[in-house]
Chain A
Amino acid sequence: MIENIIFYAISSVTVAATLSVVFARKSVYAIMGMVLAFFSAATLWVLLNAEFLAMILVVVYVGAVMVLFLFVVMMTDADTVHHKSSKFFSVILAIPSFAFLLELIIVTSKTNYKVIDGGAAFDVKAIGAALFGEYIYATEVAAVILLVAIIAAIALPDIKPAEKLEDDFEPELANKDNRLRLVKMDTPDKEQNLEESAQ
């Protein structure tokens, strides 16, 4: 019973944190909300008997990724970019969002899941055995991906800005004014001509 109460409390915190992530005016606040969301999610995972993953989440995400986000926000102009959503756009977004949430809830509540009473707990040893036993190849691939990501993260910001192409060359385009030019010229008119030839 106490578990349920704790769960609902944590869930409320998570949802609130999520709301702040989405709606915060400043990116730094959003990151703070994110950190809170991760913390509460980690707590939740402890309740769900996944203590090891909870630790990982806190260490990797809160400790590393979120700090990265903070750095980025500080280094770029991310905080100065404000979204100016029109009301029309908000409504267009809100309606399907609620419909989507509703659909998800309906589907989950309608479905009968196979549930084992009391749940099951796995210790770190079991996870390690699974990772390096059954999922050894996936683990290897994940490791390679991480390596690639590390290299990319180091190399990408190091790339010098490419030499700008010569944008100054702008062909003169024809427009209404310069397409046709009427020039006034002096031409001897007919009568003059006749007179001349007569002479």
Chain B
Amino acid sequence: MIDLKDVLVLSSILFTFGIAGVIMHRRNLVRLLMCVELILLAVNINFVAFSNSMADISGQVFVFFILTIAAAESAVGLALIITLYREHKTVDLDKLTELRE
């Protein structure tokens, strides 16, 4: 029997690395998006674990939705990155300063 708290610790680790990654990969948009996926994965693991231990199907349904939204998000995000790249020939966030003045 898997202890719930062990799973939670695992997801905590994933979550923390995700956030740290987002801040670290501040220039590379693709890596940044990947770290966001990591955060979502941590959340999903939590949902699944709770759904299991609390015998509630809602957790799994929510994971389903989150997966849907995450897929949509990464699809749009990546499309945006492609557009940006066409426009500016780079995905370096530090060089995208049009709104900053």
A interface list, Cβ under 8 A from B: 3-4, 7-8, 11, 14-15, 18-19, 21-22, 27, 30-31, 34, 37-38, 41, 44-45, 47-50, 52-53, 56-57, 60-61, 64-65, 68-69, 72-73, 75-78, 81, 83, 85, 93-94, 97, 100-101, 104-105, 108-109, 113-120, 122, 126-127, 130-131, 134-135, 138-139, 142, 145-146, 148-150, 152-154, 156-157, 159, 161-162
Contact = CB atoms under 8 A, between A and B. Distances in A.
Contacts of B101: none
Contacts of A49: 52
B100 to A, nearest CB: 16
Given A68-B75, A104-B15, A81 B51 contact: no
Contacts, number: 239
Nearest to A160: B86
B75 A135 contact: no
B64 A131 contact: yes
A149 B76 contact: yes
Given A15-B10, A94-B20, 5 more contacts: A7-B2, A41-B41, A72-B82, A78-B29, A114-B53
Interface of B: 1-10, 12-21, 23-31, 33-35, 37-38, 41, 44-45, 48-58, 60-61, 63-65, 67-76, 78-83, 85-87, 89-92
Contact of B71 (A3, A19, A65): A65
A83 B28 contact: yes
B71 to A, nearest CB: 6
